[in-house]
């Protein structure tokens, strides 16, 4: 999958994602670098508006929406805060802000 296609599809979810409390959505990994192959996953992280985001329905809702528009593609999903310290700098340096 190409980066521009992924960004376009993800951007189309903005109203629904914001309703769940997502302030910003970022794409990273091989799709963001435009290096994705047939078996690549789609890696995203979100920045929530506030603490209410961490209720189960608010946290899982965005993940389920993203999975739905990328059928058959494994989705890696996290918050910015949930990124491992081991990979955080790399992920943040290559991340593409969707909104």
Cα–Cα distances in Å, from 92 out to 6, 79, 80? 18, 12, 9
pLDDT tens digits, 56-81 = 778 899 999 999 999 999 999 999 99
Q: Which residue matches tokens 């109203």?
A: 15
> How many domains are contained in the chain?
1
CB atoms within 10 A of CB 26: 21
Q: What is the CATH number of the domain that holds 25?
A: 3.30.460.10
CA terminus-to-terminus distance, the chain: 19
Task: Give the pLDDT of residue 83.
Answer: 97
Whether 54 has a pLDDT exceeding 90, the answer reads: no
- Whole-angstrom Cα distance, residue 37 to residue 52? 36
Range of the domain at 22: 3-97
């Amino acid at each position: 999958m190409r980066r521009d296609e992924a960004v376009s599809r993800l951007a189309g979810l903005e109203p629904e994602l914001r309703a769940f409390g997502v302030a910003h959505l970022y794409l990273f990994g091989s799709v963001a670098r435009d290096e994705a192959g047939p078996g690549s996953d789609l890696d995203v992280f979100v920045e929530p508006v506030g603490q209410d985001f961490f209720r189960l329905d608010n946290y899982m809702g965005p993940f389920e929406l993203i999975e739905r528009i990328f059928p058959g593609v494994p989705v890696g999903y996290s918050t910015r805060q949930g990124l491992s310290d081991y990979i955080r700098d790399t992920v943040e340096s290559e991340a593409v802000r969707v909104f």
